[in-house]
Amino acid sequence: MFQFLIDALLRTADLALVTLGLSMLYGLVKFPNIAHVQYAMFGAYASYALYAAGAPLVGALLIASVVTGVLALGLHLLIFRRLLRAGPSISMVGSLAVSMLAIALMQGLAGSFPRMFKLGHTAPLTIAGAHISYTQFYFVCTTVVLLVLVMLLLFYTRLGRAMRALTNNAALANASGLNAERITFLVSFASGMVASLGGSMLSLSTGAHINLGNDLLLPVFAAAILGGLGNPMGAIAGALLIAVTETAVTNLNFGFLFGVDMKFLPVTYINAASFLILLLALLFKPYGLFDREVRRV
């Protein structure tokens, strides 16, 4: 049972940072940026390149995050800000095009073979009979620390209050003198950094590969929608719910149905769980489980 909780926590860490960045940005720009998950893929490759070139691991992760943040800001300035003038639907289609171009470009530069970090082999950490590698343990701890810092930023700083004001009522916030454009630039940069860090830390276990972003696309969007797009804390709760469901799907023993001791669903059914949750959320709670906004008809 404890191993199940550890596995669910690890999956939550895989999704949380990328989902957080997506939800924060959506709250300001009001369109689902499909290309956002490719920041995780780009950050993974950038971290690998820096680490392979001799940079310390922590330094490689941080530098890659800053570079990816600059990339996210540049794409917003050059592409997404212009697309937004035509509406959110056009912006979403444009972000899909950017996503496909990013994959093609990275495949041309790095190839399709996964790039594995050479971290050495150490015995896993054992907690109450459950096993977790030290890399995964540091990943979870880093994720928790970042989430706490973001929560403090959102609820206890002037910038956080401004972000929440713009998310809830952009017109009123602009009329009150807030610089919406500058705040959007800061959030674009920060969301790219956070997504890059999430993808980089995930790649420490899985390797940097072309499909890293695509593998995150469905569960990340499902978590963001489940938590309420534009609600960062709800997005984290959504990531936890998605992680628990995915872990349960692949850990349930269906052996009693087939007259055998053990029978589990293949890992490929993880995406099916995300599809199911996303469909149910869209049908019954299209604005998310934690959305409290009053909508006039």
Other C-beta atoms closer than 10 Å to the C-beta of 181 total: 11
Residue 291 sits at φ, ψ, to 5 deg, of: -85, 130
pLDDT for position 295: 43
Residue type, 136: Q
pLDDT for position 18: 93
pLDDT for position 170: 67
Instruction: Give the CATH number, domain containing residue 148.
Output: 1.10.3470
Q: For residue 63, how far is the Cα from the chain centroid?
A: 19
Residue range(s) defining the domain that contains residue 157: 2-284
Q: Is residue 296 part of a domain?
A: no
pLDDT block averages, 10 residues each, the chain of length 297 = 81 90 87 93 95 93 96 94 89 94 92 86 75 86 91 88 78 71 90 94 91 91 84 87 82 68 68 76 74 44
Helix ranges restricted to H, 157-269: 158-168, 170-175, 180-206, 212-227, 232-251, 255-258
- The tokens describing 140, both together, are 């979870």
Q: b/e map of 146-175 (b: 16 or more CB within 10 Å)? A: bbeebeeebeeeeebebbbbbbeebeebee
Q: Is residue 112 part of a domain?
A: yes
pLDDT for position 256: 64
Q: How many domains are there within the chain? A: 1
Please name the helix (run of DSSP H) or strand (run of DSSP E) that holds residue 288, with its range, or none: none
pTM over 0.85: yes
Q: Is residue 236 part of a domain?
A: yes
Q: Is residue 294 part of a domain?
A: no
Q: Is residue 295 part of a domain?
A: no
